[in-house]
Amino acid sequence: MNRRRTSLLISLLTWLAALAVIPCAAEPVAHQRLSWARGATFYEIFVRSFADSDGDGIGDLRGLTSKLDYLNDGNPATTTDLDVEAIWLMPVFDSPSDHGYDTTDYYAINPQYGTLADFDSLLAAAHRRGIRVIVDLVINHTSNRHPWFVESASSPSSPMRDWYVWRADDPGWRQPWGGGRTWHRMDGAYYYGVFWGGMPDLNFNNAEVRLAIKQVAAFWLMRGADGFRLDAARHLIEDGPGEQQVNTPGTHAFWKEFAAYVRKGAPEALLVGENWTSTDQIAQFYGSTETVAGGDELPMSFNFPLAGSILQAVRSGDATPIVSTLANVARLYPPGACDAPFLSNHDTPRVATELGSDGRKLRTAAALLLTLPGSPFIYYGEEVGLEGGKPDPNIRTPMPWNDREPGGGFTTGRPWRPFSEGRAQANVEWQADSPSSLLSQYRRLIHLRASSPALRNGSIAVLDAGEGNRQLLAFVREAGGERVLVVHNLGLTAVTAGPWDLHASEAKLLYATAGGATARAKGDTRVTIPGACSAIWRLK
C-alpha cells in the first residue's frame, strides 16, 4: 500500500470511529481540498458502453482500464490523449438494470462489469495517470429488490419498515416534473417512489438510513474513489405534494450533514449534485461559502440551465441565452462557488443529434463548454460527434472506437446495443490523426485549458458585444497573472466587434477554430472574427 493510501486509511478509520460519537458543538469546521477538481475537465462514462474486455458484448471495468491512455496517458508532453483530469463512472454497483440507477448492493460491483479487484485496479491505473475517479452514488432510492426494501416491505412491523416512506393511503402526489403517480400500492399500503415503483425512495428522516449511507460513502472513499456524482440530489426528503417534494429544508440539511462528514474524513473528495432545476434552486445546493470555501453543502452542481442555453444559442446563432444564464449564475451563486457546465449527459439527447451533426456547430458548442468557468463535463463520445436521441438507450450506445470491425473496437463479440448512426465518421480512429477533426479540437482545447490558469480557474467578465452583434459571446477571463480574451461567433458571417477598453498592449492568438480571427490591442481592443469561429487571445 502506498503512502497516500496508508494515511487516507488512518484518517478514514478515525473518521469511521467518529460515526459512533455525538459531535460536540465546538468541533471546528472541516475544510475541503478541492483545487484538483476546480476547473478540471471531467469525462462521464457509461461503463456498459465504453469498452468490453471479455467479448460478451458488455463494457466492463477492465475494458475501461485498457482505454485510459485515450483519456489521459499521464504524460503532459504528449498531445495525443484527451487530457481529461477526472472521470465519472455511471453506476457500477450491483443492479438488475442496464443503467444501474436501481442499486441492489451498495458494496458490490455489478458482476457484468467485474469485481472489486477490477475496481481497485482501475483506480490504481487511473491515479497513476493523474486521473481522478468519481462514482455515481444513487441514494434517493434503491431497487425494490434491494434486501433493505424486501425486509421493509415484509411487514408493517418490520424493524426496517421506516427505512422507506410508507403510508396507509395514496395522497395522489404526482412526479414534481409533471409526470405520473409517486405512491405505489403494496400489500394494502403505499410506498413513495418518485421515479417509479421499482425505485422506492429511502427515508432520509430516519437516522439509521443516514448512517447506512454515510457508511457506504466511507467504504468507496476508503477504496480510493475521489468523490461522488450524487443522483437525484434534490429529491431526498418530501414535505408534501408538488413543490414540497423537492429542494426541501430536510434535503438541504441532509446534504450539509453528509458533506461535513465527507469533508472530515476525505477533504479531497468531490461531491457533484444532479440538481436538474432552475439556477436559483441550484444555487441553494452550494450552501454557504462563508465558513467553507466552495460551499458548506455540495461543492458542485451540474448547470442544467446553462446546457440548455448553450444548445439553444448555438442552434439559433444568437448568444443571448448564454449571456442571461451567466448573469443569473453571477447573481445567484454564492461567491467562490464552482460551476459544473456540460452540454449533454446520459439523460438528454446527444449534442450531435441536437445540433443536426453540423460540424461547425459542434465545434462552437465544444469551444463554449471548454472556455467557460467551472469544471466542464464531457459525455463519452461527444468528442467524436456521437449521435443519439430519446429513448434513453439510444443516448447510451457503445463507444465507436473504429468503423473497421463489426464490434467497432468496443467488443470482439456482439455489442449489447447497436452502434448509433453515423459511425463511419463519428469514431475515434477516423478522427484521431486528422488535425481538423472534432476530436482534435477537443484535445487541443482541453490541453490549453489545463495549462492556462485563466481558462481553468479564472474570473469571467462578459463584454458588451454591441448592438446588432447578438451572434457574439465575448468575455475576458483572468487568474494567476494571466488574462485571456475569448470570442465565440455563433453566426455564419464575419463580425468586427469592440472597441473594448481592456488596457491591453498585445493580444496573442492562442487558439482559433477557423482561420482569419484577428485582434488589435493597441489602444482599445477590437476583434474581427469569421463566422462559426471561436478564438482565444492572451492579453498583455
Q: Which is nearer to ligand NOJ, 346 or 423 (CB)?
A: 346
**Rounded least distance, CB 165 to ligand NOJ, Å:** 16
- C-alpha span between 151 and 111 (Å, rounded): 23
Strands (E), 231-304: 270-273, 300-302
Closest residue to ligand NOJ: CB criterion: 101
Give contact residues for ligand NOJ (rule: CB under 6 A): 99, 101, 138, 195, 231-232, 274, 346-347
Q: Which is nearer to ligand NOJ, 183 or 537 (CB)?
A: 183
Distance (Å, whole) CA 294 – CA 459: 14
Q: What is the CA radius of gyration of the chain?
A: 24
Pairing outcome for strands 42-45 and 86-89: parallel
Q: Which is nearer to ligand NOJ, 195 or 475 (CB)?
A: 195
> 84: closest CA among 35, 49, 133?
133
Q: Which is nearer to ligand NOJ, 138 or 535 (CB)?
A: 138
CA–CA dist 343, 381 (Å, integer): 12
Q: Could you tell me what percentage of the chain is helix, strand and coil, using 3-state DSSP and rounding each to the nearest 5?
A: 30, 20, 50
The span from the CA of 121 to the CA of 15, in Å, is: 25
Q: What is the nearest approach in angstroms of ligand NOJ to the Cβ of residue 139?
A: 10
Specify whether 274 is catalytic: yes
Residues 475, 126: Cα–Cα separation, whole Å: 34
Residue with smaller CB distance to ligand NOJ, 263 or 346: 346
Q: Mark whether 382 is an active-site residue.
A: no
Instruction: Tell me the CB-side half-sphere exposure of residue 333, using CA atoms within 13 A.
Output: 27
- Nearest-10 crossing angle of helices 304-316, 359-371: 140
Q: Which entry of 81, 102, 136, 231 is annotated as an active-site residue?
A: 231
Task: Considering the complex, state which of residue 85 and residue 274 has its C-beta at the smaller distance from ligand NOJ.
Answer: 274
From first CA to last CA, the distance across the chain in angstroms is 47
User: Residue 229 in contact with residue 140, Cβ under 8 Å?
Assistant: no
Set of cell numbers at residue 185: 400500492
Grid coordinates representing 174?
Answer: 404526482
Write down the catalytic residue from 274, 297, 339, 382: 274
What's the rounded Cα separation, in Å, for the pair 354 and 377?
17
DSSP for 17-66 reads: HHTTSPPPTTPPPPPP--TTTTT--EEEE-GGGT--SSSSSS--HHHHHH
Comparison of 347 and 429: residue with beta carbon closer to ligand NOJ: 347
Give the active site residues.
231, 274
